[in-house]
Amino acid sequence: MSSTAKIDNSLREQIIADPEVILEDQDLMRALVAANEKALGGNIVDLRGIAMERLEARLDRLEDTHRSVIAAAYENLAGTNQVHRAILRMLDPVTFEDFLKELDGDVAEILRVDCIRLVLESVQTGDDPALRKLGDVLSVAEPGFVDAYLTAGRDAPVRQVTLRQAIPQSDMIYGEAAEWIRSEACLKLDFGEGRLPGMLVMGSEDPHQFRPNQGTDLLAFFAGTFERAMRRWLA
């Protein structure tokens, strides 16, 4: 004769009173299904159990997707708030010198980059004491430098926003910081008809901060706002 283990009366009453406790416990449900399959024997295929396993796998994938979507939404919201704060800070200065200082100061800190550099193309690229007074933030380059830097000398289309980890060798932009910059975001600037282009470069020591597969919508918006702010100083 075989004996069947009896469940404790208090536990039995608790399960009868609230059966959803078992239904909501995935590990417990798996154990019950496995016990049922074992009781059926090896010659019987439990289609309902197979269907349940497939539904559980699909549910797990849906939950993972749901978490990924929520995480991406929070990350995008945080990025949007960062850019908005940086733009507001960028619009505060009343002089061009203060504008450049804030650019590589509070604006860089808000955007969590290690340095920001502004490159302006000009037909006059000689040594100017006024430019030296503005510090390392601003560089003046010959016409065509921006496109050459963005394409790294290759025959490739020039995008408004370029994200990359392979940085062309150029001390003109980063100066001494060129040794430790590992990724950058390059924003090509259009200052209007009849003006040479410029470029805003954000450099980071983190090689993964800017990658080619990242979205560029927020940086494109920042570039558009920066162009309009610069036109005020170039007027």
**CA atoms in the 13 A half-sphere facing the CB of 102:** 16
In a domain, 39, yes or no: no
- CA distances 55 to 51, 59, 65, 78, 164, Å, are 6, 6, 15, 34, 41
d(C-alpha 112, C-alpha 128), whole Å? 31
* Number of domains into which the chain is organized: 1
Q: How far is CA 136 from the centre of its chain?
A: 27
Measured distance CA(11)–CA(8) in Å, rounded: 5
Amino acid at site 146 = V
129 lies in a domain?
A: yes
Report the C-alpha gap between 141 and 126 in whole angstroms.
9
**pLDDT tens, per residue, the chain with 235 residues:** 445 556 777 777 777 777 777 767 777 777 776 776 666 665 555 666 667 677 777 777 777 777 777 766 666 777 788 899 999 998 888 888 888 888 888 999 999 999 999 999 988 765 555 555 566 888 888 999 999 999 887 878 889 999 998 787 777 888 888 888 999 999 999 998 888 999 999 999 999 999 998 888 999 999 999 999 888 888 7
Q: Is residue 21 part of a domain?
A: no
68 in any annotated domain: no
Residue 196 structural domain: 92-234
How many CB atoms lie under 10 A from the CB of residue 114? Answer: 20
Confirm whether 175 is domain-assigned: yes
Domain annotation covers residue 109: yes
In a domain, 148, yes or no: yes
pLDDT (0 to 100) of residue 42:
56
CATH of the domain at 175: 3.30.450.40
For residue 139, tell me if it sits in a domain: yes
